[in-house]
Amino acid sequence: MKRYLTNPKFLRSALPAASLLVLLAAIFYIQPRAMSQFGMNLMLQYAVPIALATIAQMFIITVNDLDLSIGPFVGLTACIGATLLNTNPLLGVLALLACIAAYAALGALIHWRNLPSIVVTLGMSFVWLGIAVLVLPTPGGTAPDWVKAIMSFKVPGIPFPLIAAAIIAVVVHFALMRTSYGAVLRGAGGNPKAIGRAGWSLLKTKMIMYAAAGFFGVLAGLSLIGLTSAADAHIADRYTLYSIAGVILGGGEFVGGRVSPTGAVLGALTLTLTGSFLIFLKISPDWQIGAQGGILILVLALRALINRREAQA
């Protein structure tokens, strides 16, 4: 048992869950009242859009790319959701589908010209923001009622964000880690040449992964306005950083297709709770962003420690 607990592989895969639990314990210790369904709901409500955006980022990272535009993209879909989708549902759905198609096209472009994703998505972040400003020049709009209804769904006893997070994790884990085509998709991150030689289309894998990222980006935007009810072009600018941090906190690696959907969702939850933790600690808001960085560094330091131990063994 002890050997199992000190096994680096086990420690590494347990780290995302452990950091979440430690943070949760610290919060409950400082503020026992948080340990209620209401408290949890409040602390975790933004976990759902952040988790969805993190999953979107994870798909991109799986194929060795990085999406620096997911924040503005979520902002754009939020703006569409709060305007078109409400006033003209058909047009709204079409617009959101077009967003997903645009992501797939980006994947195709990046594959076709062998482009660095960082630069392409950097450019696209301006484009998404620009479109969002055109769609909704000033903050406002209203989320469709059905979106709000879903986001305020209540199950007795269990906070809704936890249920939603579990569903997201299970669905994505199954699709990416358990299906036979999921292996091909991850393989495209591990050794693209080998996947190409085995007769698979790398263009297709990249387009699918980008489309999946676009789809989850749309879900993130919609779930976000389900909570805020109104939108703004800049509503999700932070999500680019959150999503990258979430994937990393969740044990994902930058290259080589080594990712974990469950970990990514846990990472997103941890990140969300960090905000509440600081409020409970009564730390000056000046330092909130710094503390977020600090927690990221702390978890990565732990991972480095485990890896070093493994290298020594």
- Residues near other proteins, by CB under 8 A: 66, 109, 113-116, 118-120, 122-134, 137, 178, 180-181, 183-184, 186-187, 189-191, 193-200, 241, 244-245, 248, 254-258, 284, 286-294, 296-297, 300-301, 304, 307-308
Q: How far apart are CA 64 and CA 193, in angstroms?
A: 13
- Least CB distance to other proteins at residue 303 (A): 8
Q: Nearer Cβ to other proteins, position 150 or 279?
A: 279
Q: What Cα–Cα distance (Å) separates residue 132 from each residue in 89, 95, 208?
A: 18, 12, 24
Nearer Cβ to other proteins, position 164 or 176? 176
Residue 210 CB, shortest distance to other proteins, in Å, is 14
Q: Which is nearer to other proteins, 90 or 284 (CB)?
A: 284
**Which residues on adjacent β-strands are paired with residue 140?**
231
| Strand partners of residue 158 | 155
CB-nearer residue toward other proteins: 48 or 259: 259
The residue with tokens 């789809």 is 215
Shortest distance, CB of residue 37 to other proteins, whole angstroms? 31
In the complex, the smallest distance separating the C-beta of residue 287 from other proteins, rounded to whole angstroms, is: 5
Considering the complex, state which of residue 39 and residue 196 has its C-beta at the smaller distance from other proteins. 196
- CA pair distance 232, 236, nearest whole angstrom: 8
Q: Are 28 and 35 in contact (CB under 8 A)?
A: yes
What tokens does 46 get? 């933004």
Lookup: tokens for 198: 């085995």
Is 67 strand, coil or helix? coil
Nearer to other proteins, 2 or 197 (CB): 197
* Smallest distance, other proteins to C-beta of residue 297, A: 5
- Label residue 126 exposed, middle or buried (CB < 10 Å: 0-12, 13-18, 19+): exposed
| φ, ψ (nearest 5 deg) of residue 27 | -65, -45
Which residue, 37 or 64, has its beta carbon nearer to other proteins? 64
> For residues 210 and 106, is the Cβ–Cβ distance under 8 A?
yes
CB of 77 to other proteins, least distance (A): 16
Shortest distance, CB of residue 105 to other proteins, whole angstroms? 11
